[in-house]
Amino acid sequence: MNQITLHPITSPLVGNMLVPGDKSISHRAIIFGSLAKGTTVISHFLDGEDCMRTIHAFQAMGVKIKKEEQRVTIESNGVEALEEPLKPINLGNSGTTARLLLGVLAGLPFHTTLFGDESLTKRPMDRVAVPLREMGAKIDGRFNGKYLPISTRGGQLQAITFHPPVKSAQVKSGVLLAGLLANGMTEVIEETKTRDHTENMFQAFGGEISIDGNKISVKGEQTLTGTDIQVPGDISSAAFFLVAAAIVPGSKITITDVGLNQTRTGIIDVLQKMNVKINVEEEKFIGGEPIGKITVESSDIKATDIDGDIIPRMIDEIPIVALLATQAKGTTIIRDAEELRYKETDRIASVVHTLNKLGAKIEATEDGMIIEGGTPITGGEADSHGDHRIGMMIAIASLIAKSDTILHQPDSINISYPTFFDDLAKLKK
């Protein structure tokens, strides 16, 4: 199906919901479960296309991985048992698979070729290839290894101290995973803290890792042990419904069992700053990850400025926050978000182009956007451009549009949220 027609909503959104498992944590659970010795059982795994790429990559290296809906069982004999894949590995659209897998392959004594879809083929890989080469890995590819297809020949790695030049959890995680396979103590010192699921997962699998402010140190050549992982609901998926409830009059929804990791909750802070009625209750910790529930009600939204250290804590939520800002009183300015240009699409360009087409008034800047509030959404035609988060942003915009919206390439939403439209339908009265 390459287009669907979406109708404006005629009633409030109400009810309780669960969102699918966290994408970042699902990827990492497969990676760590494959590197660990023994059995790992993952529940509430994200059954989306990106995480399936990570499963297929490790299956190609001989790991036994069985998936039954959202439950995944991994039987692995550890790092030494991983085998040279027979064929090039297709990473599809998944940047997380690419960057984290490169870190693992850097330390494995065999040859691999990685390739991806049109979007992934344009995304920079040198940000991780450069430190991995410094550790001793052989990595080559298009444009001297900047872009996929990339081939690796891993081997004995030496630990490094790395100061990431970009605020990226994927880059940090790639180097930490290589550090696990290296000789010595690898250190990553971040300028701004990014999502720390890799660090939490090291601990959950019995690994030694120390965290001192923004400095993370991992001891090399450790053996990890298989464990059970319950994946929290993905706050980045929840964000679409949090904004939907805020902008659809009369709405009130509660999202349960959602991840509330501090490195991911920038969206909650921004919603509060924008005067959205929101209540958050942290309930438990599982595998080092806080989980709880969030309730949101429709609200009179105020514009705000979004910049600085909060950006990495909400990088994937900026498209949906941009939609929220179109409905706010005043002008919202987003800065320091140049990283958006290196996502599944250039998300500064795609958000601005798409929302303007639907009636908003937004101006792109080099590192963000300026969004005029109080602009009605008209509806019309809009394309996800193969970017799941742009697809979901359009779908939420269509709820408050004056007329129907035709969404092109809705299938991209399956990358992170295959049940998105079913979950939305359940909230309609």
Q: Binding site annotation covers 429?
A: no
Whether the bond into 149 is cis, omega within 30 of 0: yes
Those residues with Cβ within 8 angstroms of residue 412's Cβ, 6 or more apart along the chain or in another chain: 93, 384, 385, 386, 387, 388, 390, 391
Residue 202: alpha-carbon gap to chain centroid:
19
| In contact, 58 and 231? CB cutoff 8 Å | no
Helix 388-399 and helix 318-326: axis angle, to 10°? Answer: 20
**Residue 119 makes contact with ligand S3P by CB under 6 A:** no
Q: Give residues 176-205 in contact with ligand S3P (rule: CB under 6 A).
A: 194-195
CB of residue 315 to ligand S3P, shortest distance in Å: 5
Q: Which residue has the tokens 């991780």?
A: 128
| In contact, 139 and 107? CB cutoff 8 Å | no
Q: Which helix (H) or strand (E) holds 382?
A: strand 380-383
Structure tokens at 210: 């120390």
DSSP letter assigned to residue 2: -
**Residue 251 makes contact with ligand S3P by CB under 6 A:** no
Q: Which of 187/387 has CB closer to ligand S3P?
A: 387
> Catalytic residue among 47, 196, 316, 387, which?
316
Those residues with Cβ within 8 angstroms of residue 310's Cβ, 6 or more apart along the chain or in another chain: 266, 269, 270
Cβ burial 342-379 (10 Å sphere, 16+ → b, else e): bbbbbbbebbbbbbeebbbebebeebbbbbbbebebeb
**Number of residues lying near ligand S3P (CB under 6 A):** 11
CA dihedral in degrees (126, 149, 389, 374; nearest 10)? 60
Dist CA 316 CA 62 (whole Å): 32
Q: Give residues 13-72 in contact with ligand S3P (rule: CB under 6 A).
A: 24
Q: Which of 47/298 has CB closer to ligand S3P?
A: 47
Name residue 4's beta-bridge partners: 407
Site map for ligand S3P, 378-397, x if CB under 6 A? --------------------
Q: Is the dihedral of CA 28, 34, 38, 41 positive or negative?
A: positive
Q: Binding site annotation covers 53?
A: no
Interface region with ligand S3P, contact rule CB under 6 A, candidates 52-60, 77-85, 105-113, 168-176: 168-176
Q: Binding site annotation covers 71?
A: no
Interface region with ligand S3P, contact rule CB under 6 A, candidates 73-81, 165-173, 203-211, 365-373: 165-173
Q: Which residues in 191-234 belong to E strands, given as ranges?
A: 209-212, 215-219, 228-230
For residue 316, indicate whether it is catalytic.
Answer: yes
Dist CA 56 CA 66 (whole Å): 11
Select the residue whose beta carbon is closest to ligand S3P and give its number.
Answer: 24
Q: Binding site annotation covers 28?
A: yes
CB of residue 5 to ligand S3P, shortest distance in Å: 29
Interface region with ligand S3P, contact rule CB under 6 A, candidates 12-20, 114-122, 167-175, 407-415: 167-175
**Residue 96 makes contact with ligand S3P by CB under 6 A:** yes
Site map for ligand S3P, 324-343, x if CB under 6 A? ---------------x----
CB of residue 316 to ligand S3P, shortest distance in Å: 5
Q: Which of 169/394 has CB closer to ligand S3P?
A: 169
Q: Binding site annotation covers 387?
A: no
Q: Binding site annotation covers 313?
A: no
- Indicate the annotated binding residues for 3-phosphoshikimate: 23-24, 28, 168, 170, 316, 343
- Indicate the annotated binding residues for phosphoenolpyruvate: 23, 95, 123, 170, 347, 389
| Residue ranges binding ligand S3P (CB under 6 A) | 24, 96, 168-170, 173, 194-195, 315-316, 339
Catalytic residues: 316
